[in-house]
Structure 1
Amino acid sequence: MAEVRWIYDLTIFLYAASVLFYFNDFLQSNRKVNRLAFGLLVVVWALQTAFFVSQTIMKAYFPVITLFETLFFYSWVLVSLSLAIHYFFRIDLLVFFTNIIGFVVLVMSMFLPETPIVAVSSILTSELLLTHVTLAMFSYGAFSLSMIFSGMYLLQHKMLKERRWTPLLRRLPSLERLGSYAYRMNMLGVPMLLLSIVLGIIWAKMVLPEKFLLDAKVVLSILVLASYSFWLYKRYRDTMPMRRMQQWNVLAFALLLINFFATNTSTFHSWW
């Protein structure tokens, strides 16, 4: 494990530098600094990918089981999605805001053990479970981007209402585009989360003797899915003011974070 730890440490260092350069660009709209920040972010993605592949080779399972592994993978998903969005849509502020979250998540993983405290059984690492967790992390990534689009929408709405014609306002996409992007991200996230929950229930039904449907994370995961599904329904029917839709979206993401960090209480949803 120690022989690849330098990749993880270098990733943290370069990620911090990239976020700082993006912050400088955010304050001063410096295109040269922006290009440097983006170049560093590409290197960060490559290092994260190399570290993840090395972990997969050294361990006997796809590493998304422990909290360290899950946070690292979530950070990798955010970096990957932000690079893809930048390639197709060129929204620099989205890359900046997304990687603030990605960097914070990666820093959190620094304080956690890299390997499970107890041996990971073959039952625990079944393909159903690993697919369940992987889909959940990709849906979380989509919901993260959706939340950022909604936050940018609310910020721009407030600035327009207060007539604050700042350089930041000119860098934000239109309200219509921001609302549309948030909708698209939720359209990706909801089916992935639904499939993740279904696969998780199938796996639990096969290997768990306990009444897993009453587990706190299962219940809250269903509430998160219902919250985002309701959001999509209201967006499709166009029966809620757009500003309130974006507020709902931000609150739904807060519920998702609570579900991720605060409900690891059962024998099969415990990180330890």
Structure 2
Amino acid sequence: MFDIFMTRLHEVTVVLYALSVLLYFIDFLQHNRKANRAAFWLLAFVWLLQTVFLFLYMVKTGRFPVLTIFEGLYFYAWVLITLSLTINRFMRVDFIVFFTNVLGFIIMAIHTFAPVQYESSVMAQRLISELLFIHITVAILSYGAFSLSFVFSILYLIQYDLLKRKKWGARLLRLADLSKLDKMSYVLNVIGVPMLMISLILGIQWAYLKVPHMIWYDSKVIGSFVVIVVYSIYLYLKVGKGLAGKQLALWNIASFLIVLINFFLFGSLSSFHFWYS
């Protein structure tokens, strides 16, 4: 019972870490200090939980946990979180903080869901199934964000056309102004991109454990990375190049079409995404 409780705490820690990465990503793009503070305190709580786990493990084994690869991974993740908190607190280097936390999250996910560290094969299989559940849930949430962003871009083009043709009326008044539609589309993509990235990290971990010979050139795998790339380009055009308006809305619509192709077409062509166990 205690082992199950500790396993659940590890899973909660991974979820909290994922939320922290999401908030750091928002701050990285928008210089949002509220998001930064929330991410910092979430990460501080994750660090506290990890420190407790580390201490309990040292008490249980009577040694410092670095003698096996999985012990080393856990300690490595703890070091990365410690460095991230220190940099965030004293140096304010957002670029380093964000990518350090992405790396730390990858290491923690690998450690948490690696079945080798569990003596019970039933517990190991349960962890793998829960890893798949989290992967699918986060992916669907990211697709939901992209879907709403797509809708806002469509509304932007409709509003843009009405204004250009000077079609004043009730339909025009019911739509939000162009700047608000553009902003909402952007914000939803800011949320969707890191969530899809987290989902990909967990999905790769699951495939590595469950699929004996994972095919990196599988259609679904390639399609998912293409989705990340096209939406990352969208964010670069918005933040780096200051692009806005009709062109950005059209890029966002095209990006969502790639999401649909990846979800329906590439998913059906995938060599391993059609079965889950």
Q: TM-score, normalised by structure 1?
A: 0.53
- 1:177-197 CA distance string (max 9 Å, x none): 000000110011001000001
Q: Find 1:135's aligned residue among 129, 134, 138.
A: 138
Which amino acid is 2:145 matched to? A
1:210 is aligned to 2:210: no
The secondary structure found in structure 2 opposite 1:213 is: coil
5 Å-filtered alignment, 1:58-137, equals 126-137=129-140
Is the counterpart of residue 265 in structure 1 residue 251 in structure 2? no
In structure 1, the partner of 2:122 is none
- For residues 265 and 123 of structure 1, do their structure 2 counterparts lie closer, same or farther at Cα, with a shift above 3 Å needed? farther
* Pairing of 1:1-272 with structure 2 (within 5 A): 126-263=129-266, 264-270=268-274
Greater Cα offset, 210-219 or 138-147: 210-219
- TM-score, structure 2 normalization: 0.52
Where structure 1 has 5 or more consecutive residues not aligned to the other structure, the ranges are 1-121
**C-alpha contact 1:143 1:189 (8 A) present in aligned 2:** yes
Inter-partner Cα distance in structure 2 for 1:125 and 1:233:
35
Quote the offset at 1:126 in angstroms: 1.3
After superposition, the CA RMSD in angstroms is 2.0
What is the rounded CA distance, in whole Å, between the counterparts of 2:138 and 2:190 in structure 1? 14
Give the C-alpha shift of residue 251 in structure 1.
0.7
Q: Is the 8 A contact 2:128 2:206 kept in 1?
A: no
Does the 8 Å CA contact 1:204/1:212 hold for their aligned counterparts? no
2-structure distance, mates of 1:153, 1:235: 15
Q: Which residue of 2 aligns with 1:118?
A: none
Superposed CA offset, 1:176-217 (max 9, x none):
000000011001100100000111011111221223211100
The one-character-per-residue Cα deviations of 1:98-130 (angstroms, maximum 9, x if unpaired) are: xxxxxxxxxxxxxxxxxxxxxxxx579611111
SS in 1 for 2:274: coil
Count, aligned residues:
152
Q: Secondary structure at the match of 2:269?
A: coil
Q: Secondary structure at the match of 1:230?
A: helix
Q: Output the amino acid matched with 2:225.
A: I
Q: Which runs of 5+ in 2 are unaligned?
A: 1-124
Aligned to 1:185, the other structure's residue is in SS state helix
Distance 1:213 1:124, change over 3 A: farther
> Identity of aligned pairs, percent?
42
* CA distance, structure 1, for counterparts of residue 270 and residue 182 of structure 2: 37
* Counterpart AA for 2:188: M
Q: Is the CA contact 2:207–2:214 (under 8 Å) kept in the aligned structure 1?
A: no
1:123, 1:207 within 8 Å by CA — same for their partners in 2? no
Measured in 2, the distance between the counterparts of 1:124 and 1:152 equals: 42
Letter of the structure 1 residue corresponding to residue 233 of structure 2: F
- CA displacement 1:49-83 (0-9 Å, x = unmatched): xxxxxxxxxxxxxxxxxxxxxxxxxxxxxxxxxxx
